[in-house]
Amino acid sequence: MRYTITGRNIEVTPGLKAAVEKKIGKLEHFFTPETEVIVALSAQKDKQTIEVTIPVKGNTIRAEETSTDMYVSIDLVEEIIERQIRRYRKKLIDKKQAAVSFSQAFIEEDADEAPEDEIQIVKTKKFAIKPTIPEEACLQMEMLGHNFYVFLNAETDQVNVVYKRKNGTYGLIEPEF
């Protein structure tokens, strides 16, 4: 796997780089050698965060973990990614595109362990949407106490989503056709 390791408010020391490559390297048997792994390390006061993104054809495997120690964060994020890969194995591997990102051994591996719970949609909600600007949608989201809000953007005439980010700011998701 090819690694791109960057640091925000933290120097990527050879020790940190080696720890990331060693821990995330445990996942190499799932992927081809050409698979790119993007790692972002950041530090804020007593928070040490690692974000790992692995783009695979048609999907993105991503995990983020925060703790008081970067090495602990690295350990935790590796476990999360491995769990994601194993849990969504059937969905991630489409036989037509599997050869692009995943190793042949992983594709052919028998699923000996009990299958994880399938994704179940337990509630469906329908509601009328009226044209709104993104700022009003954010206010509506806050009044409802939700962390996202679906609305018809009055400026673009398309369905958009606003969401509250971890740092307290807002994000806007616009579809691209």
Tens digits of per-residue pLDDT, 73-103?
Answer: 999 998 888 888 777 666 655 544 444 555 5
Question: Domain 2-108 in CATH: superfamily?
Answer: Ribosome hibernation promotion factor-like (3.30.160.100)
Specify the 3-state DSSP secondary structure of 50.
Answer: strand
Residues of the chain with CATH 3.30.160.100: 2-108
- Distance between CA atoms of residues 135 and 172, nearest Å: 10
* Exposure string for 34-64, b = 16+ CB within 10 A, e = fewer: ebebbbbbbeeeeebbbbbbbebeeeebebb
| pTM beyond 0.85 | no
CATH 3.30.200.20 fits 131-173, yes or no: no
Tens digits of per-residue pLDDT, 132-154?
Answer: 999 999 998 888 888 899 999 99
The neighbour count for residue 137, using CB atoms within 10 Å, is 23
Sign of the Cα pseudo-torsion (78, 80, 83, 89, in order): negative
